[in-house]
C-alpha cells in the first residue's frame, strides 16, 4: 500500500509546498523541536496512518510518530490517534497533506463500515467498484478493506465484466461469453444482466459471477431463487444505506457500491501542537 502512496505523497507535497512554506519559515526556526497530536473530531474508522507517517518522513526524516491507533480501528471524537515529534517546522509543513490523506481514507473506511454493519447477519459481502479517484485506486481500495469491505476487480485486467455496452456490440450474452473464451482469456468472467430473461440466458454458460444491475427488491428475490446457488450473484446500482439491508435479505452473495469511494465524506481530524 505504501509503495502505491509514495508518488501521490510526493506530488501532494510538491503541490502544497512549492518553493517553500513561507509562513512557517518566517516564524519557526528550523532548530526548534516539539510535538503535536493528531485528534479525531468525529466517530468513525481510522485508515491511512502509515501514509501519514510517510508524509512527515518525506518532509523531514527527523520527525517521528508514535501511533495510538491502527488502521481499521474504531475511533471516537477526541481520540488521539498519533503523536508527532521532531522539528516543528517540518511538522507544520506536512500537517495539511498528512491530514488530507487521513481524512479522505478514514472517511471511506467509516462509510464502508456503516454498510458492513447494515448487512450483518446476512451472507452478503460489501464490495467497492472502479469508481475511484484517478491515481488513488490502491489507497481507496485499501481504505475499503480497513472498513471491513472487500475489493471488486482492481482494474480492467484482472476480471472480465461484460456490461451493457459490450452486449450492444456482441448482440447477446451468449455471443459475448463465447468471444471472451475464444480469445483465451484466463481471468474470471462476470456478466451484468438487467432482466430475468438475460439471467436465464447466462446461467447455462458457466460464468464465474452474475451481476444483477439496478433490479428492484422483488426482481432480486426472483433472480436469487432462479439461480438457486448455481453461480455467485452480485447486486449493484442504486444501493444506499436505506436499502442495503433489504438487498442483502434477498440472498445475494455480493453487493457492490460505488459510493464507498466516490461519495464518502471525509472523517475530520486535526493536528494540535503542544510544545
Give Cβ neighbours of residue 27 (< 8 Å, ≥ 6 apart).
Answer: none
Concerning whether 213 is annotated as a catalytic residue, the answer is yes
pLDDT of amino acid 154: 95
Q: What is the pLDDT of residues 66-101, one digit of tens each?
A: 999 999 999 999 999 999 999 999 999 999 999 999
Residue 1 has pLDDT above 80, yes or no: no
Q: What percent of the chain has pLDDT over 90?
A: 96
pLDDT in tens, 117-169: 999 999 999 999 999 999 999 999 999 999 999 999 999 999 999 999 999 89
Please name the residues in contact with 190: beta carbons below 8 A apart, sequence gap of 6 or more: 159, 160, 161, 162, 207, 208, 209, 210, 211, 234
User: pLDDT tens across 235-256, in order?
Assistant: 999 999 999 999 999 999 999 9
Q: Where are the alpha helices (DSSP H) in the chain?
A: 2-17, 22-27, 49-59, 88-118, 137-146, 164-170, 173-182, 196-202, 217-227, 244-249, 259-262
Are 35 and 274 in contact, with CB atoms under 8 Å apart? yes
Which residue among 35, 41, 114, 131 is the active-site one? 131
- Which residue out of 128, 140, 190, 213 is catalytically annotated? 213
Active site residue 141: no
pLDDT of residue 185: 94
Tell me, yes or no, if 200 is annotated catalytic: no
Report pLDDT digits (tens) over 21-32: 999 999 999 899
Q: From the candidates 140, 192, 234, 253, which is the catalytic residue?
A: 192
Nearest CA to 195 out of 164, 241, 155 is that of 164
Question: Among this protein's residues, is 192 annotated catalytic?
Answer: yes
The reply to whether 131 belongs to the active site is yes
C-alpha cell at 8: 501521490
Distance, in Å, from the CA atom of 123 to the CA atom of 234, rounded to the nearest integer, reads: 12
Q: Please, are residues 46 and 131 in contact by the beta-carbon 8 Å criterion?
A: no
Task: Show Cβ contacts of residue 249 under 8 Å, excluding neighbours closer than 6 positions.
Answer: 122
- Domains of the chain from N-terminus onward: 2-113+264-273 (3.90.1170.20), 117-262 (3.20.20.70)
Amino acid at each position: 500500500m505504501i509503495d502505491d502512496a509514495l508518488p501521490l505523497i510526493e506530488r501532494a507535497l510538491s503541490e502544497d509546498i512549492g518553493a517553500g512554506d513561507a509562513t512557517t519559515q518566517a516564524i519557526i526556526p528550523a532548530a526548534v523541536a516539539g510535538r503535536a497530536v493528531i485528534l479525531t473530531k468525529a466517530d468513525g474508522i481510522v485508515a491511512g496512518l502509515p501514509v501519514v507517517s510517510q508524509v512527515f518522513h518525506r518532509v523531514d526524516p527527523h520527525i517521528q510518530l508514535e501511533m495510538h491507533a491502527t488502521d481499521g480501528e474504531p475511533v471516537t471524537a477526541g481520540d488521539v490517534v498519533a503523536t508527532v515529534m521532531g522539528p516543528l517546522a517540518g511538522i507544520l509543513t506536512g500537517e495539511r497533506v498528512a491530514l488530507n490523506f487521513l481524512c479522505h481514507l478514514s472517511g471511506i473506511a467509516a462509510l464502508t463500515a456503516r454498510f458492513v454493519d447494515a448487512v450483518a447477519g446476512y451472507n452478503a459481502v460489501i464490495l467497492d467498484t472502479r469508481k475511484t479517484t484517478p491515481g488513488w485506486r490502491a489507497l481507496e481500495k485499501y481504505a475499503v478493506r480497513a472498513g471491513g469491505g472487500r475489493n471488486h476487480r482492481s482494474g480492467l485486467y484482472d476480471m472480465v465484466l461484460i456490461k451493457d455496452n459490450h452486449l450492444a456490440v456482441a448482440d447477446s450474452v451468449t455471443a459475448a461469453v463465447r468471444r471472451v473464451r475464444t480469445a483465451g482469456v484466463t481471468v474470471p468472467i462476470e456478466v451484468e444482466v438487467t432482466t430475468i430473461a438475460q439471467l436465464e440466458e447466462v446461467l447455462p454458460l458457466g460464468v464465474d459471477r452474475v451481476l444483477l444491475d439496478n433490479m428492484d427488491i422483488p426482481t432480486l428475490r426472483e433472480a436469487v431463487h432462479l439461480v438457486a446457488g448455481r453461480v455467485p450473484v452480485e447486486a449493484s446500482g442504486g444501493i444506499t444505506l436505506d436499502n442495503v439491508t433489504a438487498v442483502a435479505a434477498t440472498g445475494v452473495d455480493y453487493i457492490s457500491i460505488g459510493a464507498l469511494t466516490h461519495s464518502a465524506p471525509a472523517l475530520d481530524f486535526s493536528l494540535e501542537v503542544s510544545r
